[in-house]
Amino acid sequence: VVRRSRPGNIRIGAKAPPFERQPTAEQLLRWTVVSGDDNPVHGDCAFAVSMGLPGVIVPGQLLLAFLGQMVVEWLGDWGWLTKLTVSYKGMNLLGERLICCGVVKEALGERITLEVWVENLRSEKTVVGMAVVTAFS
Amino acid sequence: LSVLFSFDATLPFSVLLIMRQCGILFLSLHSSYNLFPKAMTASLTLEDLRQKIGHPWLKSEHVINGDLIRRYAEVVGGNAQWWNRIDQVPPVILATLGFEQVVSALRKLGPLVLHGSSDVETSRLVHTGETLVATLTLISIRERPALDNHAVFVVIQGEYSDYRGESVATSRQLAIVWPRGLGG
């Protein structure tokens, strides 16, 4: 296990590199296996449309996982992901290109808080929230 | 059940796809079992749910094995090695533990169930190989319109404890149920 000290140059406003994803049907099916959630709105287009949705919806927890991955790739080896909290403001459809973004809002001691969100190509924020990481001491 | 779990962990994706297309419901990779099995077999009404507010509703035990982490990383993409380097089970995996039972139960209230919000917080690093007990408690139920249709807002709190019974993480998730879909 590799763990490094927190770098000294974490500053408010620093941006995490964007993490882009374009969920496929295979990815959503694999997520079903990982999460156990076989809700048909995430895999059955006919069902989703019959429910009044525009198509297959990307699962919220998978979007949460994308945001978590974006944070840890920015984080490197000097800390661990402690908290993720988000609200789903819109729906993301299968095949839609998504960009996960994050910016440092607070750095108090070992605890760093980032504002995180998922936006689509129309720059609409469909998921908004925050992530907290804790630096290894 | 253990055979099914074993299949899930070892079958190639193409076979899983065929199982899915054939309507064979496969179980998650969490080597889990429901400690309250009757909770999932009985029918469920809104009034039933209201009776459960504040009480542990669904409880299940899960072994967080390396295969689950590997598959998680494959789906999410990016640098899959990160979780192994730090030896942290991704917090989002904790938020999924047992939650499929919530969605499954809520689908008895209405066919359309979506996430409204998710919150997961760990109090320590959770390591691969740990066995966790997930206890999900119904916190509140509200009925109000959403997306121009009647909807039920259900808040679920999760508590995840290790073999010593010590809490390692908590979650709070909002599920929204549309009893008649979004069709009007």
Q: Do B75 and A60 touch (CB under 8 A)?
A: no
> pTM of the entire structure?
0.87
| Residue B169 binned pLDDT confidence (cut-offs 50, 70, 90) | very high
Question: Which of chain B's residues have a Cβ under 8 Å away from the Cβ of A59?
Answer: 115
Q: Do B77 and A21 touch (CB under 8 A)?
A: yes
Question: What is the overall mean pLDDT for chain A?
Answer: 92
Closest-CA residue of chain A to B9: A33
Q: Do B72 and A34 touch (CB under 8 A)?
A: yes
Q: Cα–Cα distance between A35 and A44 in angstroms, integer? A: 17
Q: What number of C-beta contacts closer than 8 Å exist between A and B? A: 158
Backbone torsions φ then ψ of A114, nearest 5 degrees: -115, 140
Question: What is the overall mean pLDDT for chain B?
Answer: 82
- Which of B84, B88, B114 is the mutation pick for testing A, counting most A CBs within 10 A? B114
Q: Do B95 and A72 touch (CB under 8 A)?
A: no
Question: Which of chain B's residues have a Cβ under 8 Å away from the Cβ of A2?
Answer: 85-86
| Strands A79-88 and A125-135, bridge-based pairing | antiparallel
Residue pair A98/A92 in contact by the 8 Å Cβ criterion: yes
Query: In the predicted model, is pLDDT for residue B35 greater than 50?
Result: no
Distance (Å) from the C-alpha of residue A13 to the closest C-alpha of chain B? 23
Span A75-84, pLDDT tens digits: 988 899 999 9
Interface of B with A in 15-74 (CB under 8 A): 16-17, 20, 25-30, 68, 71-72, 74
| E strand segments, chain B | 31-34, 56-63, 112-122, 131-146, 149-161, 167-178
Question: Which of chain B's residues have a Cβ under 8 Å away from the Cβ of A87?
Answer: 116-117
Residue pair B134/A77 in contact by the 8 Å Cβ criterion: no
Of A1, A51, A64, the CB nearest to B118: A64
Residue of B183, B182, B184, B160 whose CA lies nearest to B171 = B160
Quote the pLDDT of residue B19.
53
Query: In the predicted model, is pLDDT for residue B2 greater than 60?
Result: no
Look up residue A41 and give its DSSP letter: G
How much of chain A exceeds pLDDT 90, in percent?
A: 83
| Residue B18 binned pLDDT confidence (cut-offs 50, 70, 90) | low
Which has the minimum average pLDDT: A20-24, A64-68, B85-89, B127-131?
A: B85-89
Q: Do A39 and B103 touch (CB under 8 A)?
A: yes
ipTM field: 0.93
The type of residue at A17 is: P
Span B77-135, pLDDT tens digits: 988 788 888 889 999 999 999 999 999 999 999 999 999 999 999 999 999 999 999 99
